[in-house]
Amino acid sequence: MSLATEPTTETKLYCTNHPQTETLLRCNKCGRPMCLKCVQRTPVGYRCKECLGEQRAGYYTATPLDYALTGILALVLGGIAVLLMNFINLGLFSIIIAIFAGPFAGGIISEVIRRVTAKRRGRYIALTAAIAIALAAFILFLLPVLPFLFSGNARAMSAVLNWGFWIFIALTISTTFARLRA
């Protein structure tokens, strides 16, 4: 007569993907038991990989058109910024201008892109914009002087060694990238 000492039948959980592996964890979205290998800790608790995949798919909503628009806008606006900054070759002074103008230009470019693409997110949107601005700098700044550079032309050398321009373009790209990433 051992009514009080009836053993509590612990329902053991086994991982959905690994039926041999005992576990105490469950995905907190779909509720299926998962072993440590099959879950990831997130700010909202343990999630299985499938549920994380769904979450990501819902997070990135940018369309191919958004990518095309991002590339074109970054190329055109980046190109305008490159041409404007190209005029300013004032040695040290252009470096000071660049420190302010770079983040400013990046702020404008990223804001225009976000509005035109209705703030849809894409895994590679920020990268697309960064590459397009770099491409604009290459086409409009470096390409025209490249042949002269190889022949050792002194004017081409001094045009390329415009540190203000390089600081400007680096800050424009990094600001655009960071803003579109956020």
Q: Which residues bind Zn ion (CB under 5 A)?
A: 15, 17-18, 27, 29-30, 35, 37-38, 48, 51
**Cβ of residue 55: shortest distance to Zn ion, in angstroms?**
10
Q: Which is nearer to Zn ion, 48 or 130 (CB)?
A: 48
Look up residue 60 and give its amino acid. Answer: Y
Nearest residue (CB) to Zn ion, 38 versus 169: 38
Q: How many CB atoms lie within 10 A of CB 105?
A: 26
Q: Work out the burial of residue 31: count CB atoms within 10 Å of its CB; fewer than 13 is exposed, 13-18 middle, 19 or more buried.
A: exposed
At how many degrees (to 10) do helices 163-181 and 64-87 cross?
Answer: 150
Q: Side-chain half-sphere of 17: how many Cα atoms within 13 Å? A: 12
Q: Which is nearer to Zn ion, 8 or 20 (CB)?
A: 20
113: its two tokens = 């892109």
Q: At its nearest, how many Å lie between Zn ion and the CB of residue 111?
A: 37
Query: C-beta of 11: minimal distance to Zn ion in Å?
Result: 18
Rank residues 15 and 62 by Cβ distance to Zn ion and give the closer one: 15
Give me the least distance between CB of 38 and Zn ion, in Å please: 3
Longest dimension (CA), the chain: 104
3-state secondary structure of 182: coil
